């Protein structure tokens, strides 16, 4: 099966992990800070905090932004469930903003009108979490203007997007977002096995995220209520978690970042070949706005309305040909957990319509030209048969 996404592990990556296994520290050693410095330098952010996953990073970012039980978090339906669940973890109410049919990212006009209504009702969100779908930045500058008008914080879920650029700035530089979160799961752009991180320009938010990642425990006298009783002394000053990344993961991550630009360039080449090769087929190709460099975590097409086969039929035909096509995403509000909270079909029509016709094609650094040609040939056949 040709997978839709796959990690690329070099012998240097393997050696870096083995070196940690032979060292004194498997966790809480020197590699996590080195990984955080590498990420901060790469995305040009003053603060980077590593976590055990992006899901953990989203949870802690929400807490660090002050999200609590009387608050609201808004995200998009076209995402992985974690972008919404982080709000529920904090006891907040979660709601959604529909996507733009063309960009498949948060629709800024839908956000603006939902905010107007919320302003009138006194139900404004504390946190809005746009997602950089497929590696392409959401329209963060426009969302920032709305944040300044309505007073919410921006939590950018850039799980797909490390290595991408928006308005000539690296995604994660937090030019517009309060916090940006990345995932290093093996299907994403670079990997640490499991792993995630958050970047921010706020030293205070970074400090809170570091405390919350490690049980709420501090060894810094500046955080303490009492004078340290000795060198062993620490205080738990808030209720935190164990969401730490290990040194084993961080060592892999440091080496993977050496090849980030190479991985993104390879994905660009594959996407350009799809764009050209699929031009004559009855599909909507992936769109990347002018002035944006997508990290291209995914390459998603939508079947044209003229195609007589259903998406399920095309999906099955491709899988039968050994091609690991996938579907991103089932709208989160249609998951049983969210339906039980009151959401139903019809609530976010653009995300629902997109979902009905979407098909994710393989894209990853080791997809060969021959494999890609095979994918396009089988797709052409599946659409017509």
Ligand X SMILES: *Cc1c(COP(=O)(O)O)cnc(C)c1O
Could you list the residues that contact ligand X (CB under 6 A)? 53-55, 79-80, 82-83, 131, 157, 159-160, 183, 185, 196
Of 183 and 218, CB closest to ligand X:
183
Q: Tell me phi and psi for residue 283, to 5 degrees.
A: -135, 155
Secondary structure of residue 55 in the 3-state scheme:
helix
Q: How far is the CB of 138 from ligand X (least distance, A)?
A: 11
Q: How far is the CB of 218 from ligand X (least distance, A)?
A: 26
Q: How far is the CB of 299 from ligand X (least distance, A)?
A: 14
Of 56 and 271, CB closest to ligand X:
56
Q: Which residues are registered as beta bridge partners of 181?
A: 157, 198
- CA 172 → CA 186, 199, 200, 237, 258, distances in Å? 19, 6, 8, 29, 17
Distance CA 363, CA 3 (A): 8
Which residues are CB-contacts of 96 (< 8 A; sequence separation ≥ 6)? 74, 75, 76, 77, 84, 332, 333, 343, 347, 348, 351
* 188 annotated active-site: yes
Of 83 and 200, CB closest to ligand X:
83
- CA 35 → CA 78, 191, 253, 256, 294, distances in Å? 30, 12, 6, 10, 23
Of 48 and 82, CB closest to ligand X:
82
Rounded to a whole number of angstroms, the CA Rg of the chain reads: 21
Angle between helices 369-384 and 260-277 in degrees, nearest 10: 40
Looking at the annotation, which residues are catalytic? 188
């Amino acid at each position: 099966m040709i997978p839709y996404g796959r990690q690329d592990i070099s012998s240097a990556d393997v050696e870096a992990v083995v070196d940690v296994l032979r060292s004194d520290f498997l966790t809480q050693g020197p590699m996590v800070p080195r990984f955080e410095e590498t990420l901060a330098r790469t995305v040009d952010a003053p603060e980077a905090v590593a976590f055990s996953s992006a899901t953990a990073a989203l949870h802690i970012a929400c807490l660090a932004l002050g999200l609590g039980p009387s608050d609201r978090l808004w995200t998009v339906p076209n995402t992985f469930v974690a972008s919404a669940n982080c709000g529920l973890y904090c006891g907040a109410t979660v709601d959604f903003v529909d996507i733009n049919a063309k960009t498949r990212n948060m629709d800024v006009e839908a956000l603006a009108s939902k905010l107007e209504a919320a302003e009138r009702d006194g139900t404004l969100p504390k946190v809005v979490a746009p997602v950089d779908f497929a590696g392409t930045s959401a329209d963060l500058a426009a969302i920032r203007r709305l944040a300044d008008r309505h007073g919410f914080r921006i939590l950018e879920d850039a799980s797909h997007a490390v290595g991408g650029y928006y308005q000539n700035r690296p995604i994660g530089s937090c030019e517009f977002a309060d916090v940006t979160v990345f995932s290093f799961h093996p299907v994403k752009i670079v990997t640490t096995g499991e792993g995630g991180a958050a970047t921010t320009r706020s030293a205070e938010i970074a400090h809170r995220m570091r405390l919350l990642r490690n049980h709420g425990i501090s060894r810094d006298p500046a955080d303490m209520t009492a004078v340290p009783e000795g060198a062993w002394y620490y205080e738990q000053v808030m209720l935190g978690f164990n969401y730490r990344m290990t040194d084993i993961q961080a060592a892999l991550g440091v080496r993977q970042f050496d090849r980030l630009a190479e991985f993104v360039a390879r994905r660009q080449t594959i996407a350009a070949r799809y764009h050209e090769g699929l031009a004559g087929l009855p599909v909507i190709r992936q769109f990347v706005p002018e002035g944006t460099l997508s990290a291209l975590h995914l390459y998603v097409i939508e079947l044209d309305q003229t195609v007589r086969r259903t998406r399920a039929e095309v999906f099955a035909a491709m899988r039968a040909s050994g091609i690991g096509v996938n579907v991103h995403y089932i709208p989160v509000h249609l998951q049983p957990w969210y339906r039980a909270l009151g959401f139903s079909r019809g609530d976010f029509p653009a995300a629902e319509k997109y979902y009905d016709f979407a098909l994710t094609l393989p894209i990853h650094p080791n997809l060969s030209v021959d494999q890609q040609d095979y994918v396009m040939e089988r797709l052409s056949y599946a659409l017509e048969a």
